[in-house]
Structure 1
């Protein structure tokens, strides 16, 4: 049987199954105390428990110390809006209603309610999520790896491949789970969504292969898919496509009852997505707002994803052994089609599927390394290739967790953004700021302040409104703009503060309040126009 040659646990192979298990079931039922004692005796520390825990400790500690950067401010500001008014939160970045903003997902709303209950700032609550999200991700990788192989080292290899086999250069992108990217983005909704995706795939495999008669299991699977759809829609696309690939490969027999159970899963996912009151997730279909941002995912594929190519031979071997009905092979083919559609159509947002497209070759490599017996020709070829690729991946990403003084060779390190507590501490939480600095406009929203022009486009704000605001900021900051024009812009957007970079020479009517100790930026309290 192909599934057994790869070490995968077939239906009926669980401990206690078969004739002996049936005979045992007819004997005296053990007491709860004896069952607990048997579980304690059977418990062993697995290699994955050790490696996974160490990985969690290192990455969680590193992420905790990373200063506010990238998308952190956007998510923290959304949490602040929910904390202030959870029924009708304002726009995360602009002093406008937030009706229909996809940033108000169940993840953000839950954090906003937690911030409201504890009194913690939104940025603090978002940072708390890093260790939690990482735990979900690590346990999810282990859960899905165990559906592919019963070998104890398979999950260990899967975690190493998934977090190191990306590209020969360390890169950061929301939802991408290389070590470099995790140290910045593990507290983002996308990281949580990817972790839940692995758990959903493991659940899909169990339901399809074991033929569970438990209807709640299917409802739970559907609800989980609906939750991921609301939290991170593009990850949800990969999650559902991957689940369909697993279902196609694993399900044997399609009775009416089986079909009804899977339809229940689909209906639960649809229901969860439809009843969410904050925004309509289906309105995002075909939205091109952020396509231009994601074109970069296609520009340098070797630098971003090249090391994962070492997993292609194991995928081919799986195809030769098990045919086309292999879950990883089906998953890989489907993800390649989605990525290709994004490139051909110009909807580059579909390039986000690269975050999961690498999973099939990464996990195929992990399973083969765990399954291939020692001293075979395949092992002699694959193990050195995997070792070299992992070394390159480690060199590319180790700078994100280890300081240069502790390393024997010079490597790249993520840029550490300056803090803006010196400015945020002098403004009220609902202040409206005129600024155009790249770092400042990403970091300041984490403190709850509003911007005149958005950092990132929000589909709930019309493109024309975003363009007007960007033009207004540009006009205000031009040295030759008449004072009357500046006053009109200040009145229109309710701006009370101005943040100037070190070299910006802009006339203003107001009071210089503070100067940044690192960047030399100047914070100005504007006089009323």
Structure 2
């Protein structure tokens, strides 16, 4: 892909006689292209589940009103919601122009995000080494070397997790992060004096911050890992980045320009802050110290050895890089990522655990670069290659295979991605924007993606005071309480303009409600409680 997808060689025959050259695809162009196709199809075959409905709801609200979107899940104002990022606004604009539903736009975003990710990986690896097979090995390590327990979360890039989150903003942000690291590596290697390249990198970092704030933490750490060795020193003429990831002979940095180099990187930081501050939909800096979603992310710290142990196969390669260069960017990146993750655990701000997926990247990519380097293969490197191949096999067959092997073609019975039921049968009876009262785990996460609203949003959001959301959750519980009176239920219906109930099979339909439909697959019941039934608009 860009910068890595194509290599050039001198042709034989008539083309050579005329002084011409012909192009052939690089290994990464071939395998990256195949991976893009397979994973796009794998992503498309998985029905809407998990956080997909939330992101589809965001697109629906922006499609309705691009400048002043409502709350993603409730009939409330959405001013200040961090879901309304530049990425989401672009999706909303596309939905308006194409007249596609939010669900369809998120599905179409998956292959686009994957393309950004794959090209970013290719550019980043080229900063580390010119070896043509290194990006292929890096991609394989990134999607297979995780662990033997499911790590399914937005921003986690194992094969199985990618079938669910390719269409999310986190994947797009991580793809941009690889581009930012490649950009920072190029600036560190070339030592440019102009300020515009540094300002451009800052603008990219600001965009990542707006698209997915927690992923931007890892993105900025990666940029800092490349910038830190250059601050206070200046590269002598003739320097280049060696295949092993260290400055080659003749490429050392000479002292004397500490403030000049630091000032250039300061331009990067300043530009990122300016770009992020200028976004009108929400203030990203108001999220600093926000604890509203920490409780959700505590589970990221459970079962860590089982989820990530295969990535530790990259530790020997990372240690070799450290021995060659104490300021190696991958080493610095790994150490800083680990410190942030540890801070999240110690402080109770478990949201910082969201960067765990990117914390594995230095391990995975160091292993790929080491195996791709053209050195004599001794028994140590042979053992490392064998361990990596065995680990990739274990990761694939134990956990990841079901992502790309359909059940119909599965001779073993691999674990498959989640397959949640759809809610077209229920939402087809509603008008766009109708309010639904439900406390089911799946409908609260899926129904808003069809354009309906909930009484109580499933997730915290900076645009809605948590005390208000808590009162709404209490109202839902009170309505569904078997001991509630008809008058109490009627008051809740009036207060929140409830039109529909979506009940699980074990929940009793109130006497005043009218059953309209039910799901043949799950047994869930749709009942009308306010107003006449009208077809969906």
Query: Is residue 406 from structure 1 mapped to residue 409 from structure 2 by the alignment?
Result: yes
1:6-405 residue pairs with structure 2 within 5 A?
A: 41=21, 43-249=23-229, 252-253=233-234, 254=257, 256-322=259-325, 324-371=326-373, 373-395=375-397, 396-405=399-408
In the aligned structure 2, how far is the partner of 1:201 from the partner of 1:60?
A: 25
Secondary structure of 1:520's aligned partner:
coil
In the aligned structure 2, how far is the partner of 1:422 from the partner of 1:156?
A: 44
- 1:510 Cα offset (Å): 3.1
Structure 2 length-normalised TM: 0.89
Query: Is residue 445 from structure 1 mapped to residue 425 from structure 2 by the alignment?
Result: no
Does the 8 Å CA contact 1:176/1:355 hold for their aligned counterparts?
Answer: yes
CA offsets per residue over residues 141-186 of structure 1, 9 Å max, x none? 1111111111111101100011111111333100111111111000
Does the 8 Å CA contact 1:508/1:526 hold for their aligned counterparts?
Answer: no
Does the 8 Å CA contact 2:230/2:261 hold for their aligned counterparts?
Answer: no
Secondary structure of 2:502's aligned partner:
strand
CA offsets per residue over residues 16-37 of structure 1, 9 Å max, x none? xxxxxxxxxxxxxxxxxxxxx9
Does the 8 Å CA contact 1:177/1:355 hold for their aligned counterparts?
Answer: yes
Secondary structure of 1:503's aligned partner:
coil
In the aligned structure 2, how far is the partner of 1:255 from the partner of 1:384?
A: 44
Q: Could you list the runs of 5+ residues in structure 1 that have no partner in the other structure?
A: 1-14, 16-36
Structure 1 length-normalised TM: 0.90
In the aligned structure 1, how far is the partner of 2:124 from the partner of 2:192?
A: 18
In the aligned structure 2, how far is the partner of 1:153 from the partner of 1:506?
A: 61
In the aligned structure 1, how far is the partner of 2:370 from the partner of 2:207?
A: 33
| RMSD of Structure 2 on Structure 1 (CA) | 2.0
Structure whose residues are more often helix by fraction: 1
**Runs of 4+ in structure 1 displaced over 6 angstroms?**
none
Q: Say how many residue pairs are matched.
A: 494
- 1:60 Cα offset (Å): 0.5
In the aligned structure 1, how far is the partner of 2:47 from the partner of 2:434?
A: 22
In the aligned structure 1, how far is the partner of 2:186 from the partner of 2:463?
A: 39
* Residue number in structure 2 paired with 1:3: none
Secondary structure of 1:44's aligned partner:
strand
Does the 8 Å CA contact 2:154/2:168 hold for their aligned counterparts?
Answer: yes
In the aligned structure 2, how far is the partner of 1:374 from the partner of 1:142?
A: 25
Secondary structure of 1:266's aligned partner:
helix
- 1:199 Cα offset (Å): 0.4
1:474-493 residue pairs with structure 2 within 5 A?
A: 474-493=477-496
* Residue number in structure 1 paired with 2:521: 518
- 1:409 Cα offset (Å): 2.5
Secondary structure of 1:172's aligned partner:
coil
